[in-house]
Amino acid sequence: MATPDHISLTLARHGLRHTPMRRAVLDVLFSKSFALSSNDIEQALEADSDRITLYRTLRTFEQKGVIHRVLDSSDVIRFAACSVACTEQAHADDHVHFKCSACERTYCLTQVAIPAVQLPGGFRATHRDYLMSGVCQQCHAE
């Protein structure tokens, strides 16, 4: 569970005002070790939460470097909290994502950096996605 302090610090670090929705969304994202779709987040929020506000919050968080998109092989967009080093200008956590074929969760392997890739002349990457799939720790143990 995210501490109120962690949430406050995150909002402050990115120059964001505190709103009930921002706090609630961060609380949900910080409490999970895997990426969540806007639908997953909506279901974890209180029943009367406004969907438009949720979408707006996710967009703001993504722009500010609070959360990042986690692309997997499905066409559902999922989000996960960024590392503390991420800012609006520079997304600092280039880590591997892992999709589990058993539980279908996609995890941020924040401790596993995307390996260096040598590109041919003339190609300049501005974004990197690295997805591995298989069986996660938890499913493997079962």
Chain residues binding Zn ion by CB under 5 A are 80, 100, 102-103, 108, 136, 139
Whichever of 50 and 88 has its CB closer to Zn ion, that residue is 88
What residue ranges in the chain does DSSP mark as E strands? Answer: 36-37, 67-70, 78-81, 95-100, 106-113, 131-134
Q: Quote the tokens at residue 131.
A: 């997805």
Nearer to Zn ion among residue 60 and residue 138 (C-beta): 138
96 pairs with which residues across the strands? 109
Q: Is 139 annotated as a binding residue?
A: yes
Q: Least distance in Å: CB of 59 to Zn ion?
A: 18
CB of 17 to Zn ion, least distance (A): 25
Provide the Cα torsion 93, 9, 16, 112; round to 10°: 10
Residue 64 Cβ vs Zn ion, minimum distance, rounded to whole Å = 16
Here the tokens at position 53 are 């506000």
To the question of whether residue 103 is assigned a binding role by annotation, the answer is yes
From the annotation, which residues make up the binding site?
A: 100, 103, 136, 139
